[in-house]
Amino acid sequence: MRIILLGPPGAGKGTQAQFIMDAFNIPQISTGDMLRTAIKEGTELGMRVKDVMSSGGLVSDDIIIALVKERIQQADCQQGFLFDGFPRTVPQAQAMLDAGVHVDNVLEICVEDEAIVQRLGGRRVHEGSGRVYHIQYNPPKVAGKDDETGDDLIQREDDLEATIRKRLGIYHDQTEVLVDFYKNMGEAEALKAHAPAYHRVNGIGDVDEIRTKVLSMLK
């Protein structure tokens, strides 16, 4: 089972990714989480991407493609994987096709921009695991603490309103085209055999209701 989660920042990809991982027993490959870990660990990669990430820009395709290609070679990806936040540009999507990495399902989560600006201001994350909460819509059991480990939750530095708006602009300019990219694969003779099933879910509403819809679409 290979799945791509598409949708703007804040649509709920990371939130739903946790449920999909559990249901299908596949790892989540979140390029955002991988990059944040590299920054935290102070690796060479982390130093290269730090400034562009905190300003809300995209990391270069070369870096991202190399990172993902290496990650999917690992043993835990044998039975499948869930891409969350990748691909984000046409060159990234094309690089996977060129490498013969095909996916079974693309799931788009739709949320309009204004709802996203509100949501991301309240996002809190557990750095170690990528678990994500919202102070109002999806609160942890104990305020400010991760449910499983009790560690402190953090607010991401790119979750500031001006940066969120910049990220949304980049989504509309560079990532949204992937909706048609994957939808149209079924129509191109050469690509037909590898075209993924395409699903679309409204990301506004109760987290559990969306989870039920998502899991039934992927069954």
Catalog residues that contact ligand ADP under the rule CB under 6 A.
7, 9-15, 31-32, 35, 52-53, 56-59, 64, 85-88, 92, 119-120, 122-123, 132-134, 137-138, 158, 167, 203, 205, 207, 210
The helix/strand/coil state of 197 is strand
Active site residue 145: no
Q: Which of 48, 50, 145, 156 is catalytic?
A: 156
Dihedral sign for Cα atoms in the order 71, 160, 116, 52: negative
Tokens in use for 150? 């009790």
The helix/strand/coil state of 81 is strand
* Residue from 109, 134, 123 nearest 213 by CA: 109
**Smallest separation (angstroms) from ligand ADP to the CB of 65:** 9
Buried b (16+ CB within 10 A) or exposed e, 56-76: bebbebeebbebbeebbeeee
Which residue's CB is nearer to ligand ADP, number 73 or number 190?
Answer: 73
**Smallest separation (angstroms) from ligand ADP to the CB of 187:** 25
Which residue's CB is nearer to ligand ADP, number 10 or number 196?
Answer: 10
Q: Which of 2, 36, 88, 131 is catalytic?
A: 88
Active site residue 88: yes
Catalytic residues: 13, 88, 123, 156, 167
